């Protein structure tokens, strides 16, 4: 296993925001109990803000961006995961307060990781990504509160964005009549 890998790192140099591809070593990674070879990560709005410096997403620098990732465990000090296990993670402050998925390797807390189901490839898991996961949680919350297709229309705001577009698709597939809303005039036809 090579000690050197590449990552997208946000930093401040001479009080200026910087972002770019850097060579790192395993010694640069935070001290957590599972080392993962990262295969996929999605590009989320929040990551775009962090990389461009358009909003103060990163709580500290240097920071590896990427709010989610899927990959394969290389080393584990945790009983819950072994080398060769396929895992994913989203949330937990990745790309904000913890190094994220825009890296060839990541060292993460085992309690953050979820096994990738055998029915999915790591690529498919990240195709769903954080936006799909969030949208599904929203749909499940509606259902948990007794909202059914017979309850009436469901309005999805931000329907042209990542979470909104997936929510529209999931709700429509489940039989709901969806009213899609967007504040962007250019997306009206969407």
Domain range list for the chain: 4-115, 129-187
pLDDT of residue 3: 86
* pLDDT per residue as tens digits for the range 143-160: 999 999 999 999 999 999
User: Is 1 a residue whose pLDDT tops 70?
Assistant: no
pLDDT of residue 37: 99
Give the three-state DSSP class for 106. strand
Mean pLDDT within 90-102: 96
Q: State residue 182 phi and psi, 5-degree precision.
A: -145, 150
The Cα-based distances of 86 to 2, 25, 31, 82, 177 in angstroms read 20, 22, 20, 9, 37
Band (180; pLDDT cuts 50, 70, 90): very high
Could you tell me which residues come within 8 angstroms of residue 9 by beta carbon, excluding any fewer than 6 positions away?
19, 20, 21, 22, 24, 62, 63, 64, 65
User: Is 171 a residue whose pLDDT tops 80?
Assistant: yes
Are 155 and 179 within 8 A, CB to CB?
yes
Are 39 and 107 within 8 A, CB to CB?
no
The domain defined by 4-115 carries CATH number 3.50.50.60: no
User: Is 94 a residue whose pLDDT tops 90?
Assistant: yes
Give this prediction's pTM.
Answer: 0.84
């Amino acid at each position: 296993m090579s000690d050197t890998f590449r990552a997208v790192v946000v930093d401040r140099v001479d009080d200026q925001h910087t972002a770019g591809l850097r060579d790192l070593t395993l010694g640069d990674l935070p001290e957590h109990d599972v080392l993962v070879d990262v295969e996929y990560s999605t590009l989320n709005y929040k990551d775009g803000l962090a990389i461009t410096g358009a909003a103060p997403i990163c709580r500290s620098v240097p920071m590896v961006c990427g709010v989610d990732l899927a990959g394969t465990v290389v080393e584990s000090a945790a009983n819950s995961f072994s080398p060769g296990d396929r895992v994913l993670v989203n949330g937990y402050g990745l790309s904000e307060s913890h190094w994220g998925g825009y890296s060839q390797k990541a060292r993460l807390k085992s309690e953050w990781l979820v096994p990738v189901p055998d029915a999915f490839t790591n690529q498919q898991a990240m195709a769903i990504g954080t936006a799909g996961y969030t949208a599904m949680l929203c749909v499940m919350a509606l259902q948990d509160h007794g909202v059914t297709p017979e309850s009436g229309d469901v309005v999805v705001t931000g329907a042209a964005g990542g979470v909104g577009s997936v929510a529209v698709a999931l709700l429509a597939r489940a039989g709901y009549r969806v009213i899609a809303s967007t504040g962007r005039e250019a997306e009206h036809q969407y």
